[in-house]
């Protein structure tokens, strides 16, 4: 499996991280993975909601040094 495409939204406020992720997912094939990096704590709420809306799934969530990292996969 290839490495996920990284979307760097650090320093951006809601809703920008989710919008950047949604834009990246637009034309991606099923099974594509993305890693969203975000510093806005609202991403903890927004990303799961987006995945529910887009029929995707969260594969991994990490936080280190104030940076949230979500790996998501398109269904």
Domain CATH for 22: 3.30.110.40
Is residue 14 a part of any domain in this protein?
yes
Query: Can you list the positions of beta strands (E) in the chain?
Result: 5-9, 33-38, 56-64, 67-74
Is residue 21 a part of any domain in this protein?
yes
Is residue 55 a part of any domain in this protein?
yes
Is residue 25 a part of any domain in this protein?
yes
CB atoms within 10 A of CB 18: 23
Is residue 69 a part of any domain in this protein?
no
Per-residue model confidence (pLDDT) at position 55? 85
Range of the domain at 39: 5-60
What's this model's pTM, rounded to 2 decimal places?
Answer: 0.93
pLDDT in tens, 25-57: 999 999 999 999 999 999 999 999 999 998 899
For the chain, give the mean pLDDT. Answer: 95
- Which residue has 């989710």 as its token pair? 18
């Amino acid at each position: 499996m290839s490495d996920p495409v990284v979307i760097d939204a650090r320093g951006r406020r809601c809703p920008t991280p989710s919008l950047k992720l949604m834009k990246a997912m637009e034309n991606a094939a099923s099974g594509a993975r993305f890693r969203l990096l975000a510093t806005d704590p609202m991403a903890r709420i927004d990303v799961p909601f987006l995945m529910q809306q887009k029929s995707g799934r969260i594969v991994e969530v990490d936080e280190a040094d104030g940076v949230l990292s979500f790996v998501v996969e398109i269904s």
